[in-house]
Amino acid sequence: MFLLPGAPAKPGLLRVDGGGAAIAVEIWAMPADAFGRFVATVPPPLAIGTLTLADGRNVKGFLVEAAATAGARDISAFGGWRAFMAQAKASA
């Protein structure tokens, strides 16, 4: 997971074949007929792709284009966006 440049602060989750980190995610439900409208609003370099959960399930979620991670800070060690933001707030 990377801290993408720009404001507001946002994460970029990059899918890797191996050597990645476990990242906490939130799973939300959305009616299928609204999914296309939602995806159309996702700004680049974010995209919707497949996330593989620890229990083996595959769900759709936010990913980032690999090119957007060049020079971005790797924040995977925090284990999730909420943990990263809590640390950032505590150190501010």
Q: Give the residue among 37, 59, 57, 60 at the shortest CA–CA distance from 48.
A: 60
The structural domain count of the chain equals 1
Percentage of the chain lying above the pLDDT 90 cut? 89
Please, which pLDDT band fits residue 11 given cuts at 50, 70 and 90? very high
What pTM value is reported for the model? 0.89
Q: What CATH number is associated with residue 76?
A: 3.10.490.10
| pLDDT of 46 strictly over 90 | yes
Instruction: Give the domain extent around 38.
Output: 2-90
Which residues, listed in sequence order, are joined to residue 44 by a DSSP beta bridge? Answer: none
